[in-house]
Structure 1
Amino acid sequence: MKRIAIEHLRPTQATHGLREVEKKTREYKALAGHDLAMAIAEKPIPYVIGPDGNAFAIDHHHVAAALWAAGIKEFPVVLVADLSSLDRAQFWLTLENRRWTWPYDAKVRRIAFGAIPKHVYELEDDPYRSIAGLVREAGGYEKTTVPLEEFRWADLFRAFIAAPATDDEFDAAVRRGIDIARSESAIGLPGFLGKKKPSA
């Protein structure tokens, strides 16, 4: 499987959840040898080739940032599309039409595509994105193949939960997020479970 240096992988979103990245980083650092290699191989980064032959991640930004923080400098990738024949405007429009980019800052303000950071370890922290990821891990909703699903969940939690400032407030926000995810307020979002149990 092809591998790419994290340094050379361009992000297609401006934010991530720092707490989620830190949690994944601790998990990677706790592994070694074969176990670490298997954990890395389980989640190859899907990417597209863009203008000037640059590689752009279209998912798993948190995984890439966590691996970088854990001292892993390259990882396996899967090519989804070669869009290198497009000019920059056409490239970003294509990504947006396919829902492969999220050009918004941590306050959900639209930004220019050129303002998206150049490296996955430079993304802005959006605490609601961490809440969304950890609510899913706790069984609040199911993982789906819908692109950018976690950002839609993050926006739901943003509407109901005050931004957490401490670890205790963050833990409380995740517990509140689970309740919200299981409520009628979340109907229509990808992976909505309601009162059902998560799939095994």
Structure 2
Amino acid sequence: MFVTLWHFTGRKNRVHWTRTCMNSSRSRLISALATSPARLLDGWHTLASLLDDGEIPLPFHSGLPAGVTVTIDARLLRPTQSVVGFREVAAKRKNIESKSRRKRVAWLRKKSVPVVIGPGGVPWMVDGHHTLRALVEADVGDKTAFGHILANWSGLDSAVFWRRMRENNYVYLQVPGSRTRLSPARLPVSLLDLQDDPWRSLAWAVGKAGVYEVQNHVFFQKFHWAEFFRVRITWDNSRKKNFRRAVATAMELACTPAASHLPGWLPSGEADANPEDAETALLATDLELAAALQGV
């Protein structure tokens, strides 16, 4: 009933209506908490985190328009890329598992994932693959993700839909280390089907160090950096110290004119590089944990 009322009263009245509903139901909420506190406290923490932001998102459904904030089970989202960096996934998984439920909800809310609704009502995630892969794998029961609808193209046929996705940079079909492009039909079906690309982890670590400007509005930015490093740096990924050396080399290369065409490039005099930030990221992701994720 909440969703129906929100839909007809409009966006401006959403927060006001929610507050009115909460005030009128306070006695019932207190009564419910008294009779079943263990079951309801988790839900209260989630609701409290959402109210802190002043907005309640809608449960995902295929008829939602662009601009709406949603909640959705992360396992239902379809990837728009074929690989992730397992080291980054490992770091985010550790971060997720270290948080209380309320803090985890607040953190995931800030990591709102852009979603395009495609033919058949399929939700395609345009960004946030590492965060939500980590959430799916994490030892937490609630797999709820937060997102915002970029576009609802559910009425398009498949060919037109994928042309628009490419034109808007909403999909990354490049095969890592190759000039070949995947057909959309060969994209992974789920987040757990994403494969590891060590150079994508390398690009993440260098960005974490502040050597280039991480631009969250540029989708798939780190993939371009990964390809730049791929043809210039190789290492034996079976030993953690080798990856650390690769990061040090990549940090130097990232400031050279050869990288000036890449999104977020900063010349050496402007880069706010902090090797300790990269080191912190590396300490959070030992090779054993990253390797273990390959078996999930």
User: Above 0.5 in TM-score?
Assistant: yes
Equivalent in the alignment of 2:204 = 133
> 1:169 aligned to 242, 257, 265, which one?
242
Equivalent in the alignment of 1:43 = 111
Equivalent in the alignment of 1:123 = 194
CA contact (8 A) 2:212 2:271 kept: no
1:96 aligns with 2:166: yes
Q: Which amino acid aligns with 1:15?
A: V
Equivalent in the alignment of 1:82 = 152
* Cα deviation, residue 141, structure 1: 0.5
CA contact (8 A) 1:135 1:178 kept: yes
Equivalent in the alignment of 1:147 = 219
Structure 1 residue ranges without an equivalent (≥5): none
CA contact (8 A) 1:15 1:104 kept: no
* Cα deviation, residue 57, structure 1: 0.2
Deviates more, 1:188-197 or 1:41-50: 188-197
Partner SS state of residue 145, structure 2:
strand
> 1:13 aligned to 73, 81, 88, which one?
81
1:160 aligns with 2:232: yes
Q: TM-score, normalised by structure 2?
A: 0.64
CA contact (8 A) 1:127 1:163 kept: no
Question: Mapping of 1:61-72 within 5 angstroms?
Answer: 61-70=129-138, 71=140, 72=142
Equivalent in the alignment of 2:71 = 3
Distance in 2, Cα, partners of 1:184 & 1:115: 35
Describe the superposition over 1:148-193 as per-residue Cα deviations: whole angstroms up to 9, x where unpaired. 2111100100011014412111111111111111112211211111
Deviates more, 1:143-152 or 1:100-109: 100-109
Moved over 6 A (4+): none
Q: Which amino acid aligns with 1:85?
A: G
Distance in 2, Cα, partners of 1:193 & 1:107: 24
Partner SS state of residue 231, structure 2:
helix
Distance in 2, Cα, partners of 1:121 & 1:78: 22
Q: Which amino acid aligns with 2:132?
A: A
Equivalent in the alignment of 1:112 = 183
C-alpha root-mean-square deviation of aligned residues, in Å? 1.5
Q: Which structure: greater helix fraction? A: 2
Partner SS state of residue 136, structure 1:
helix
* Cα deviation, residue 34, structure 1: 2.4
Structure 2 residue ranges without an equivalent (≥5): 1-56, 58-69, 274-296
CA contact (8 A) 1:142 1:193 kept: yes
**Number of paired residues?**
199
Distance in 2, Cα, partners of 1:22 & 1:103: 24
Partner SS state of residue 84, structure 1:
coil
Deviates more, 1:13-22 or 1:100-109: 100-109
Deviates more, 1:88-97 or 1:150-159: 88-97
Q: Percent identity?
A: 31
Distance in 2, Cα, partners of 1:140 & 1:6: 31
Distance in 1, Cα, partners of 2:248 & 2:172: 26
CA contact (8 A) 2:87 2:201 kept: yes
Q: Which amino acid aligns with 2:127?
A: D
Describe the superposition over 1:58-89 as per-residue Cα deviations: whole angstroms up to 9, x where unpaired. 01111110111113412111100011111111
* Cα deviation, residue 50, structure 1: 0.2
Describe the superposition over 1:8-46 as per-residue Cα deviations: whole angstroms up to 9, x where unpaired. 100111111111111111111111132212211111111
CA contact (8 A) 2:113 2:148 kept: yes
Q: TM-score, normalised by structure 1?
A: 0.94
Distance in 2, Cα, partners of 1:143 & 1:170: 21
CA contact (8 A) 1:161 1:173 kept: yes
